[in-house]
Amino acid sequence: MSFINKLKNKFKQNEQKEEVSKKYQEGMTKTRNSFSLKINDLIARYRKVDEDFFEELEEVLITADVGVSTVMELVEELKMEVKRQNIKDTNGIKDIISEKLVEIYYGDVQEEIETLNIQEQGLSVILVVGVNGVGKTTSIGKLAHQLKQEGKNVILAAGDTFRAGAIEQLEVWGERADVDVIKHNAGSDPAAVIFDAIKAAKSRQADVLICDTAGRLQNKVNLMNELSKVKRVIEREIPGAPHEVLLVLDATTGQNALSQAKTFSEATNVSGIVLTKLDGTAKGGIVLAIRNELHIPVKYVGLGEQVGDLQQFDANAFVYGLFADLGTEAEAE
């Protein structure tokens, strides 16, 4: 049985996972349409798996923003696997590509890397960072809604005190998710907001505190220094916190998102990525580039505008969403 059909059967056996796989299929339509057409065209033109085939395959993967170094690693592994299995026909390579993509994503670690680090006892603090315009506040609101649905007592901290309307936007999401928002006046010291939010969360016996942060400053203070200051306040008040530092990136910006990830991870030790607007791009391969080149797991992806469209990332569902149209092999060997 092919790898894609194995994934399909795996999802079918679990109703919740099947629903998730459907969201990925729908949300990744643009990437899959582009990717599938190019892969199918490549296989139609090349009957044999040779060096020319691999060169064009590299171009297809790079176009999908999988990332140059990730593509080179993938193609080298594909060449070895083709040789090992003595594959001559290009039709036999579809499944190997999908399997190797999952392997590259997880490496030697387990699928638990995608799970949020929520403490069983005491307050969990999630620091959310990212530049303006990537969907940071919206992602915080959706995450708060999900955690509330799971029975968590959630509080939001309006730490982006510089962007006009940021505090009000977070308050709107707080109302939608039915969670409290701790705020100061616009232009206040973000670290002071976070400090007060921690005190409030402790006194209200909250389970999770999600802290919004500035994506740009209006004064000359370095943004990364400001974020480091906020992080120090959290560490001082709650040893071991923040338990997650989530960097929000816009999937439609492609390689620019990768450079943002490098900059933010140097300042705040990013523990996970929230990749928004994955449904709006044909370059969804950026997920693999982020994971492979920065060694940071993607923890959530945005697959639509609705509250429930922020999905916990699943590399198996992602690859299935990418290859669903190509999984036409027989259901059994």
User: Which residues fall in the annotated binding site for GTP?
Assistant: 130-137, 212-216, 276-279
Query: How far is Cα 310 from Cα 292, in angstroms, rounded to an integer?
Result: 22
CB 32 within 8 A of CB 318: no
Question: How many CA atoms, within 13 angstroms, populate the side-chain half-sphere of residue 253?
Answer: 17
128 forms bridges with which residues in the sheet? 246
**Residues counted in the chain:** 333
- How far apart are the C-alpha atoms of 333 and 329, rounded to whole Å? 9
Determine whether 193 is exposed, middle or buried from the number of CB atoms within 10 Å of its CB (0-12, 13-18, 19+).
buried
145 contacts: CB under 8 Å, gap ≥ 6:
173, 176, 177, 307
Binding-site residue set: 130-137, 212-216, 276-279
Task: Indicate the residue type of 289.
Answer: A
Tokens of 114: 């995608």
